[in-house]
Amino acid sequence: MSSGDPDATCEDVLAEVWLFLDNECDGTRREILRQHLDECGTCLERYGIEEHLKELLHRKCGGEHAPEELRERLRSSIRDSVLRQADVTVEHGPEGTSVEVREKPASPTE
């Protein structure tokens, strides 16, 4: 858990890792996420996997060869997939965007 935000859980950080990678969060939140990743080996390992995937997408879709619409669809699809795996609900409403992170029940084989 990050000392920058004692309420930031690993689930919170992993749910926001794409925002961090895409530089889509504000400076304060970015620093909280960075500090947590620096201090938490489990999250850092997962972040490393996400970072490599983002680099691969950038290499394959980052040039003039892929239309912006395709890149946005890929980003959205990957973000949705990550959110579903983390059992995260994102709602957009008149008051802004809310994110709910729930712990997934362990499967019987774990």
Per-residue pLDDT of 45-88, as tens digits, reads 777 777 777 777 777 776 566 678 888 898 888 777 776 666 66
In a domain, 110, yes or no: no
Q: Give the count of domains, the chain.
A: 1
In a domain, 4, yes or no: no
Residue 36, domain extent: 10-101
- In degrees and rounded to multiples of 5, residue 108 shows phi and psi of -60, -20
Judge if pTM exceeds 0.75.
Answer: no
DSSP class per residue in 20-56 = HHTT-S-HHHHHHHHHHHHH-HHHHHHHHHHHHHHHH
Of residues 86 and 25, the one with the higher pLDDT is: 25
Q: What is the mean pLDDT of the chain?
A: 75
In a domain, 32, yes or no: yes
Vertex 48: Cα angle to 46 and 14 (nearest 5): 40
